[in-house]
Structure 1
Amino acid sequence: MLKLKNYIKKHKIKTTVFVVILAFYIFCLPKQLFKEPTATVITSSNHELLGAKIAEDGQWRFPHNDSIPEKFKTCIIQFEDEYFYNHPGFNPISIFKALSANLKSGSVKRGGSTLTQQVIRLSRKGQKRTYFEKIKELVLATRLELRDSKETILAHYSSNAPFGGNVVGLDAASWRYFNRNANELSWAESATLAVLPNAPSLIYPGKNQERLLKKRNRLLLKLLKNSIIDTLTFELSIAENLPKKPYPLPQIAPHLLQRISKYYKGTRIQTTIDNNLQKQVNYIVKSHYNQLKQNEIHNAAVLILNVNTRQVLAYVGNTPTDKLHENHVDIINKPRSTGSILKPFLYASMLDSGDLLPNTLVTDVPTQFGNYTPENYDKTYDGAVPASRALSRSLNVPSVRLLQEFGLDRFYHYLKQLKLKDLKYNANHYGLSLVLGGAESNLWDLCKSYAALSSTLNHFSENSSEYFSNEFCEPTFLASETIDFGKKTTEKTLFDAASIYLTYESLKEVNRPESDESWEFFDGSKQIAWKTGTSFGFRDAWAIGTTKDYVVGVWVGNADGEGRPGLVGVQTAAPILFDVFDLLPSSEWFSKPFDEMQQVSICKQSGHRASQHCNDIEEKYIQISGLKTKPCPYHVLIHVDKNENFQVNSSCEDVSNIKHKSWFVLPPLMAYYYKTKNPFYKPLPKFRADCLSENSVSIEFIYPKASNTIFLPKDFDGETNELILKIAHSKPESTVFWYVDETFVASTKDIHELGIKPKSGKHMITVLDEFGNEAKRKFEISN
């Protein structure tokens, strides 16, 4: 140490020069050798290529890959640098031979560069090939050898070597020329790619095939002589054909690639996509598109989620349509009118809050809310229908009436907790049409929500009746991400497990399309909770279904919003949904969450908790919150004669002859429509003529609707058609007197319908029965 100090003191200049040179040598090599933009590459869950987006400079240059196939590694070393593992970055013998040959010829005829030097030359793109540049490359090559391993240097070379045209790097070349992964190449294919960087212009469709073939076969012969391959392998290899022209890169999930490239440009991303499933779904979408386009329906999207991991298994953002019909648009995250697809959330919300039981009768009659008049799809009414059946049949009027009863703001609060990002306005902006498609959402958010509900049920059953705090999380298409469902808790996240289960029980009964209509009679059929939706104007068709393990979402329509006749969820989206479910493994049905349920007596006819007058009772499990619902209001105790033909009371019949009977009675307007669908519905018996009635009387208008503006058409003779007035009376045998604008018109008995021809303008109808009961209705006649 003392001698070194003395030497430094005596030779300060030499020491300084040495230190400067050493520092220059240490820091002469850039930390990042290659800074050129790279392609965005996505792979499946098992590393199969799904697609790639070309780099910004127009080159097919895949991101750096540390993994080099053994065949290519052997070929490139044998062809370019046989002593690669033995030299320090340059080969003096090769340099001397190259220098001698070039001096004799007076031009550059031979190169003596090692693979390490070629890596340096590739990184110093654009430099002239001079002797001074060669010295720089040599210095940098030795520095690279000191910094990186031999395998890393080979990886640099294979990822950045030119392979002809705009193809850079082994990975891109393997797909462009042989349409498969580099580690799947044969010896002949590996040898072909090994000789290409030496003369990348050799590959061009239809040109230079003979020269390329000779170079490849010479390398294969060298492999044979060095006992790297045997004779049979050599003969089979030289018999292989050369690539004629570049292949297009796979585009198995182009819209997912488009989405990923926005956030992970120029990187290689392993996704959660199941490659085989993605290809099969692509085929299904293409098949249905070929049928749908006959009706000028050009776009569709499909998303498949794994409920348990919340991973995306398949992502089809659009059909293989053309540019004119916007095939580049990724529909999955685009806002579209929801149609009826939000109805299950209203049903679950009302179950969860205890405002409804699964089969409670709900009203289905013509209804008007101000200027808003919802209608069922088939324009008919049931009068009263079980809530679960109203959901499975997707009836509009009961849904809107339930929403009004439940409260628009309350339902909106539930939807906001689902994190539907396209729900941008306040509740009043959407109004009661919120549940029928007045709002917008997207396939991603809707599938995410259904997956969260299914996962809530699964976790509740698997974790001793506990919930997870982060159940309503974002799904992922990145294999590197693992979903964190949060902490276990006894508190529900949004809906309790019983409400979700009962909602799914209803959705399981939705009628399937065409050939699947009798699905419940086949033991092997899959139990799926599913729902369709159709937006106003036939612009959007939805179908979303879930099993214990999978959620499948389908949207069908036109990206530009053009509506088409027949663009209905059950006809266009549902067939795709079930074709996709046929690809997925069968799942057991959800376990019943008994800890959130209680068995109670239910009135079979009304679906309410049984009252003392209900005579047809069944024991059912309901959600615990449903215990606060009121008992059945539709069963009343009446008094009839011995033959049960008339109602009687003590004013006309001896008490000993009076029978007490429970009777199912609906309000007049509900009963009017209910009896058309339920022929066994029996209205209350009339009071015997000699009895004094004790019953209250109810009158309800069927038509016209409140504050309605009516246009009366003319017939072929030019005569204006009549306006038919209708009411429902709880005692239809009563005489009803009709007044229009306080002028008596007529009276009716039994059938309370009346035809009139009012003049244009506003009018008031008044009906008065023989007991003095009255009802009024305003309407307007327009020319």
Structure 2
Amino acid sequence: MIVAALCVVVAAATAGWIASLGPLPLDQARQVSTSVVDRNGRLLRAYAMADGRWRLPVHAATDVDRRYLDLLLAYEDKRFYSHAGVDPRALGRAAWQLITQGRIVSGGSTITMQLARLIEPRQQRSLSAKLRQMVRALQLERQLRKDQILDLYLALAPFGGNLEGIRSAAIGYLGKEPKRLSLAESALLVALPQSPETRRLDRFPDAATAARARVLDRMAQDGVLSTDDAAQAKAVVLARQRTPMPMLAPHSADQALATGKGASIIRLTLDAAMQRALEALVRDRAAALGPDISIALVAVDNASGEILARVGSPDYFDSRRAGQVDMSRAIRSPGSTLKPFIYGLAFEDGFVHPDSLLDDRPIRFGAYAPENFDMTFQGTVTARKALQLSLNVPAIALLDRVGSSRLAARLKQAGAALILPKDEAPGLAMGLGGVGIRLQDLVQLYAALPRLGSAMPLREVALGEAKPPEPLRLMDPVAAWQVGNVLLGTPPPDNAAANRIAFKTGTSYGYRDAWSVGFDGRVTIGVWVGRPDGAAVPGLVGRTAAAPILFDAFARTGRLPAALPKAPRGTLVASNAKLPLPLRRFRPLGELLRNGAEQALHIQFPLNGSRIEAAGDANAPSLPVKVAGGVLPLTMLVNGVAVGELDGRRQRLIDQPGPGFVRLTVMDAMGAADTVVVRIQ
């Protein structure tokens, strides 16, 4: 009776003591450094925890070399998958070795017991601390699966200094992820946690080497390794300093961290290999251009709008270049890079064709008299050549016809934020850079051209299962294809292949910004070069400073340029001589009123912006169009497609289109045109 009562008392006391321990602090143990990874899960950048420790999340099954795991379990816990948290055989062996040899030869702690000690660090070595560790190990085995216990141990194991976990150690000491470790590296990482501070590879490399040798010798003795393999691994010389943590895409990582809402892993759409290659390119080119010059670069996937690479500056830690300022998001003057969209709207409106003739000669728009970059004039050129040579006068003449406000509205509709001085409306100067825009917005606009006019909003944070954003309209497919086809023929920089990449360059007023944006059928890349403080850099020109970087960037993507889309249905491909008479030559608005009683062309009906009831049946009357002025013959276009000529009374009935917005254009024999947009409802 006394023995039974004593057992009950002991059991009750033990149960009370175990209850007093409280729940395991697993939530705190699961805290890790925030990791920013690329589209394939590769680490771009990690952020240390609040106390300065590096602790990266890890999954044994996917993130760690199998040979390391085999060595770890063979050395630390042979029966890990069979015991319940405590291994009586290992404890008995350790106790017997202590009694017979007077010292600890091999520990009796299982990996689960070591994890318990890591979760609740002991203040001193004692019997009660050991018992507490064993109880906690049993609790861990009841609450977690074996793979979860192993993952948690691999994340918390100490490796010296502020390195915790196998991933932090492999990156910090070996400069690599633990997925592919050599035998020598695996043995080293097995040995370090036993005495992490006295075996730190960056401070005590000899002690670390000796500990590695003991692991290899024991594994050879136990038959886990061959003697030859162990000898070869022991002969490998270890590095004696730490390597820095990955620092790819620092600006993107900072932005993602600011909006990540406390997530431990943030997945971006970037491609780590492309990001690394383009960062190296930008760093090398900036060094060649001078210590005050910065470069920014953005590469996007045309189909999805996902950003594949973003370089905000050549060196994040270069204060002279304001390296921590992301110049890909800075607002700068775009120079001539908006010209393709002027031509695109002109092609869309149907009053000019890539092979239409334009005059490049002195012209004045009120007080504004644009001049070409080289202060010369080319005379009569095709629209194709005018855009390829980036002539200013033809572009401004077209913008005057298209309308500055309409261009600004269309670019805004496609997702680009244009910045104008306070209380200032869009004007003709915006065609030559008189507006502010970000590189990433410019790239978004250009990526719409190989998409045949639909702009996909750029995104950098992976959406997972979320629905991607809807595309935005920039211009008609035919017009977008025509612009891309023209830009494909732009003369490339020296020593670069022609007709591979469609691109445009730009230089802002005062040589403050040099630009080059280009695309193939798969990727669009934009490059900005300049000083972050906006100071002038004499001689800084887009064609010589930014375009070579653009072509090198395409080369470093590791892929051959992809073909652009084929011409969509309805595209008019013809030489100037075979164009309809109104399209052969473009005349600015100021030339449309010429002499005598000749009146400017004007669509009298339907009115611009009017709403017309849709036909209810197939026999409903056609839509009448009535025009005043202009020189006969008059050509009618519906949504950019010619449908025939108007009669002598300047009237025509057209088949009523279906519901939606319809653009009606009339052109006369001298190239004058008028356009209205009506809504059929």
Indicate whether 1:566 and 2:547 are aligned: no
Equivalent of 1:42, from 14, 23, 37? 37
Matches within 5 A, 1:219-618: 219-264=215-260, 267-293=264-290, 297-320=292-315, 322-423=318-419, 428-456=424-452, 471-476=455-460, 478=462, 480=464, 484=468, 493-516=473-496, 519=497, 525-583=498-556, 584-587=558-561, 589-598=563-572, 603=577, 608-609=582-583
Partner of 1:681: none
Partner of 1:758: none
Query: 1:30-80, CA deviations, whole angstroms, 9 ceiling, x for partnerless residues?
Result: 4525154514343463x5444433333222221343534322222222332
Tell me how far apart the structure 2 counterparts of residues 512 and 426 of structure 1 sit (CA, whole Å). 38
Tell me how far apart the structure 1 counterparts of residues 239 and 581 of structure 2 sit (CA, whole Å). 71
Aligned-partner residue type, residue 670 of structure 2 = P
Taking a change above 3 Å as real, the CA distance of residues 372 and 35 of structure 1, as seen in their structure-2 partners, is: farther
Taking a change above 3 Å as real, the CA distance of residues 122 and 266 of structure 1, as seen in their structure-2 partners, is: farther
Taking a change above 3 Å as real, the CA distance of residues 65 and 259 of structure 1, as seen in their structure-2 partners, is: farther
Partner SS state of residue 434, structure 1: helix
Query: 1:634-666, CA deviations, whole angstroms, 9 ceiling, x for partnerless residues?
Result: 89xxxxxxxxxxxxxxxxxxxxxxxxxxxxxxx
Structure 1 residue 313, shift from structure 2 partner: 3.0
Equivalent pair of 2:33/2:46 in contact (CA under 8 Å) = no
Query: 1:382-402, CA deviations, whole angstroms, 9 ceiling, x for partnerless residues?
Result: 454433322222222332232
Tell me how far apart the structure 1 counterparts of residues 54 and 102 of structure 2 sit (CA, whole Å). 37
Aligned residues: 586
Equivalent pair of 1:39/1:56 in contact (CA under 8 Å) = no
Tell me how far apart the structure 1 counterparts of residues 361 and 580 of structure 2 sit (CA, whole Å). 16
Equivalent pair of 2:281/2:553 in contact (CA under 8 Å) = yes
Tell me how far apart the structure 2 counterparts of residues 601 and 631 of structure 1 sit (CA, whole Å). 19
Structure 1, unmatched stretches of 5+, are 1-12, 458-467, 520-524, 612-621, 636-783
Structure 2, unmatched stretches of 5+, are 1-7, 586-636, 643-664, 673-681
Tell me how far apart the structure 2 counterparts of residues 438 and 158 of structure 1 sit (CA, whole Å). 57
Structure 1 residue 581, shift from structure 2 partner: 2.4
Matches within 5 A, 1:626-705: 627=642, 628=665, 630-633=667-670
Partner SS state of residue 500, structure 2: coil
Taking a change above 3 Å as real, the CA distance of residues 436 and 129 of structure 1, as seen in their structure-2 partners, is: farther
Which range moved further: 246-255 or 390-399?
Answer: 246-255
Tell me how far apart the structure 2 counterparts of residues 275 and 146 of structure 1 sit (CA, whole Å). 40
Equivalent pair of 2:355/2:384 in contact (CA under 8 Å) = yes
Tell me how far apart the structure 2 counterparts of residues 536 and 126 of structure 1 sit (CA, whole Å). 67
Equivalent pair of 1:357/1:607 in contact (CA under 8 Å) = no
Q: How does the TM-score come out when normalised to structure 2? A: 0.76
Tell me how far apart the structure 2 counterparts of residues 589 and 427 of structure 1 sit (CA, whole Å). 43
Structure 1 residue 236, shift from structure 2 partner: 1.0
Tell me how far apart the structure 2 counterparts of residues 633 and 493 of structure 1 sit (CA, whole Å). 31
Equivalent of 1:29, from 12, 24, 49? 24
Partner of 2:186: 190
Tell me how far apart the structure 2 counterparts of residues 348 and 623 of structure 1 sit (CA, whole Å). 17
Structure 1 residue 229, shift from structure 2 partner: 1.9
Partner of 1:176: 172
Taking a change above 3 Å as real, the CA distance of residues 405 and 136 of structure 1, as seen in their structure-2 partners, is: same
Equivalent pair of 1:357/1:626 in contact (CA under 8 Å) = no
Equivalent pair of 1:310/1:483 in contact (CA under 8 Å) = no
Which range moved further: 547-556 or 575-584?
Answer: 575-584
Equivalent pair of 2:411/2:474 in contact (CA under 8 Å) = no
Tell me how far apart the structure 1 counterparts of residues 150 and 158 of structure 2 sit (CA, whole Å). 14
Which range moved further: 562-571 or 131-140?
Answer: 131-140
Structure 1 residue 188, shift from structure 2 partner: 1.8
Equivalent pair of 1:39/1:54 in contact (CA under 8 Å) = yes
Taking a change above 3 Å as real, the CA distance of residues 634 and 181 of structure 1, as seen in their structure-2 partners, is: closer
Aligned-partner residue type, residue 408 of structure 1 = S
Structure 1 residue 242, shift from structure 2 partner: 2.9
Structure 1 residue 344, shift from structure 2 partner: 1.0
Taking a change above 3 Å as real, the CA distance of residues 131 and 449 of structure 1, as seen in their structure-2 partners, is: farther
Structure 1 residue 498, shift from structure 2 partner: 0.4
Equivalent of 2:59, from 61, 65, 71? 65
Structure 1 residue 632, shift from structure 2 partner: 4.2
Equivalent pair of 1:364/1:385 in contact (CA under 8 Å) = yes
Equivalent pair of 1:601/1:610 in contact (CA under 8 Å) = no
Taking a change above 3 Å as real, the CA distance of residues 44 and 598 of structure 1, as seen in their structure-2 partners, is: closer
Q: Percent identity?
A: 30
Indicate whether 1:53 and 2:47 are aligned: yes
Tell me how far apart the structure 1 counterparts of residues 150 and 451 of structure 2 sit (CA, whole Å). 47
Structure 1 residue 592, shift from structure 2 partner: 3.7
Structure 1 residue 132, shift from structure 2 partner: 3.5
Taking a change above 3 Å as real, the CA distance of residues 608 and 576 of structure 1, as seen in their structure-2 partners, is: farther
Equivalent pair of 2:485/2:502 in contact (CA under 8 Å) = yes
Structure 1 residue 157, shift from structure 2 partner: 0.6
Q: How does the TM-score come out when normalised to structure 1? A: 0.67
Tell me how far apart the structure 1 counterparts of residues 334 and 582 of structure 2 sit (CA, whole Å). 30
Aligned-partner residue type, residue 540 of structure 1 = D
Q: CA RMSD in A?
A: 3.8
Which range moved further: 433-442 or 544-553?
Answer: 433-442
Structure 1 residue 555, shift from structure 2 partner: 0.9
Tell me how far apart the structure 2 counterparts of residues 239 and 477 of structure 1 sit (CA, whole Å). 45
Structure 1 residue 546, shift from structure 2 partner: 0.9
Taking a change above 3 Å as real, the CA distance of residues 200 and 120 of structure 1, as seen in their structure-2 partners, is: same
Query: 1:237-293, CA deviations, whole angstroms, 9 ceiling, x for partnerless residues?
Result: 111123311122343433333333333466344544444433433333233223211
Taking a change above 3 Å as real, the CA distance of residues 383 and 602 of structure 1, as seen in their structure-2 partners, is: closer
Structure 1 residue 91, shift from structure 2 partner: 2.7
Equivalent pair of 1:163/1:169 in contact (CA under 8 Å) = yes
Taking a change above 3 Å as real, the CA distance of residues 607 and 50 of structure 1, as seen in their structure-2 partners, is: farther
Taking a change above 3 Å as real, the CA distance of residues 386 and 337 of structure 1, as seen in their structure-2 partners, is: same
Partner SS state of residue 530, structure 1: strand
Tell me how far apart the structure 1 counterparts of residues 103 and 31 of structure 2 sit (CA, whole Å). 31
Structure 1 residue 189, shift from structure 2 partner: 1.1
Partner of 1:702: none
Equivalent pair of 2:306/2:458 in contact (CA under 8 Å) = no
Query: 1:456-504, CA deviations, whole angstroms, 9 ceiling, x for partnerless residues?
Result: 37xxxxxxxxxx8xx52224463947873759xxxx9341110001111
Tell me how far apart the structure 1 counterparts of residues 24 and 109 of structure 2 sit (CA, whole Å). 18
Tell me how far apart the structure 2 counterparts of residues 354 and 377 of structure 1 sit (CA, whole Å). 28
Aligned-partner residue type, residue 283 of structure 1 = A
Partner of 1:153: 149
Tell me how far apart the structure 2 counterparts of residues 527 and 494 of structure 1 sit (CA, whole Å). 24
Taking a change above 3 Å as real, the CA distance of residues 179 and 266 of structure 1, as seen in their structure-2 partners, is: farther
Tell me how far apart the structure 1 counterparts of residues 268 and 469 of structure 2 sit (CA, whole Å). 20
Taking a change above 3 Å as real, the CA distance of residues 126 and 371 of structure 1, as seen in their structure-2 partners, is: farther
Query: 1:87-120, CA deviations, whole angstroms, 9 ceiling, x for partnerless residues?
Result: 2112345446667888999999986432112212
- The structure with the largest alpha-carbon Rg is 1
Partner of 1:85: 81
Partner SS state of residue 454, structure 1: coil
Taking a change above 3 Å as real, the CA distance of residues 212 and 472 of structure 1, as seen in their structure-2 partners, is: closer
